[in-house]
Structure 1
Amino acid sequence: MANFNVPTRAEVAPNNQEIFDNLKNALGFVPNLYATIAYSDTALGNYLQFQNAKTSLSKKEKEVVNLVVSQVNGCKYCQSAHTAIGKMNGFTEEQILELRQGYFSSNEKYDALVKVAKAITLNKGKVDDTTLSNFFNAGYTKENLVDVIVAIGDKVIMNYLHNLTQIEIDFPLAQDIA
């Protein structure tokens, strides 16, 4: 496997240095996975535009998708980052563990969302009729479904980047689940 180090500000292109500065001002640090995507002169800026684009999903709903997709794809970095972000968005540790396992016992709508996101990820876009019907019956629309697919694509990018590079996780480690 290739050996990847987290690039420093001095090691990235000037446009990425500016993004590093903005991230440091907004977050207090540059997450290692964001720094790693900066090996490309354009990918970090492109990715952040994609990640921050408008969506019909709430921040909490995006975290539902992020957590289950990161679990399905076995990305410990994203599991850890989105456990922290999920907590900032109001989920408890127990709820986060449920979401990562692909269900949500205390909210029917989030349960339908996590199940459809897990099925899409596991089955490369193919979802059984019952799971899809439950998603729509929970109040979601075709617009929401498209935005779920876009959110999955966002997370797959970072899951694959970490799974390939195995750079150091700079968030509190997410709890392992069976």
Structure 2
Amino acid sequence: MSTFNVPKREEVSEKNQSIFDSLEKAVGFVPNLFATYAHSENALENYLNLSNAKTSLNAKQKEVVNLAVSEVNNCIYCLSAHTAIGKMNGFTEGQILELRSGQASFDSKLNALASLAKNLTENRGAADDRVVENFFNEGWTKENLIDTIVLVGDKTISNYLHKTTNVPVDFPVAQPLEVATI
């Protein structure tokens, strides 16, 4: 698989240059995957609007979903980025590894969320009834279910973009789950 080029600021449209400037201010750099969206006039803005949209899930809960989905989809870029973001949201290395496997023994409510995210991704949206029932039994709502499904879609988009373009990972690279747990 060939690697796509990561466009530089001067190689993208004025609209995308403005988004690059905003990312630079907010994050300190323009992540390679976000820059790759800028090959399209509209994709970067559209993706960021989806990714930053209001949701019933807080930042920590979103990372639970992002880690489980990215593991199922085997996306090293997103696993690396969300490992770093997960740590910024207070998860330990061990907790992040569990979340990647679709589990959270340290919190039953997050366990139900991780299990649902993994199950939805593995089954292309056809979640097992028992997984959904457990999700609701842990106190999640129908709104949380819908928002989780939207987030699974959001993360899947980025997973697919990286797996197709193979742009370089510009975060500390996450170890494969089986290596990290030995």
Q: Distance in 2 between matches of 1:4 and 1:124?
A: 27
- Which runs of at least 4 in structure 1 moved beyond 3 Å after TM superposition? none
Contact between 2:83 and 2:174, CA under 8 Å: does it hold in 1? yes
Q: Distance in 1 between matches of 2:163 and 2:128?
A: 28
Aligned to 2:165: 165
Aligned to 1:70: 70
Contact between 2:9 and 2:20, CA under 8 Å: does it hold in 1? yes
Alignment of 1:1-178 (within 5 A): 1-178=1-178
Q: Distance in 1 between matches of 2:152 and 2:128?
A: 18
Tell me how far 1:127 sits from its aligned partner.
1.6
What one-letter code is carried by the residue in structure 2 that aligns with 1:176? P
Tell me how far 1:3 sits from its aligned partner.
3.8
What one-letter code is carried by the residue in structure 2 that aligns with 1:160? Y
What one-letter code is carried by the residue in structure 2 that aligns with 1:45? E
Q: Tell me the TM-score normalized by structure 1.
A: 0.98
Q: Deviations over 1:11-57 (max 9, x none)?
A: 10110000001100111100000000100011001111111000000
Could you tell me the percent identity over the aligned residues? 61
Tell me how far 1:132 sits from its aligned partner.
1.0
Q: Distance in 2 between matches of 1:3 and 1:66?
A: 24
Equivalent pairs counted in the alignment come to 178
Tell me how far 1:130 sits from its aligned partner.
1.4
What one-letter code is carried by the residue in structure 2 that aligns with 1:24? E
Q: Distance in 2 between matches of 1:138 and 1:175?
A: 31
Q: Tell me the TM-score normalized by structure 2.
A: 0.96
Q: Distance in 1 between matches of 2:140 and 2:107?
A: 14
Q: What residue ranges of structure 1 are gaps of 5+ in the alignment?
A: none
Q: Distance in 2 between matches of 1:122 and 1:112?
A: 15
Specify the SS of the correspondent of 2:149. helix
Specify the SS of the correspondent of 2:90. coil
Specify the SS of the correspondent of 2:156. helix
Q: Distance in 1 between matches of 2:171 and 2:3?
A: 21
Specify the SS of the correspondent of 2:177. coil
Contact between 2:2 and 2:166, CA under 8 Å: does it hold in 1? no
Specify the SS of the correspondent of 2:15. helix
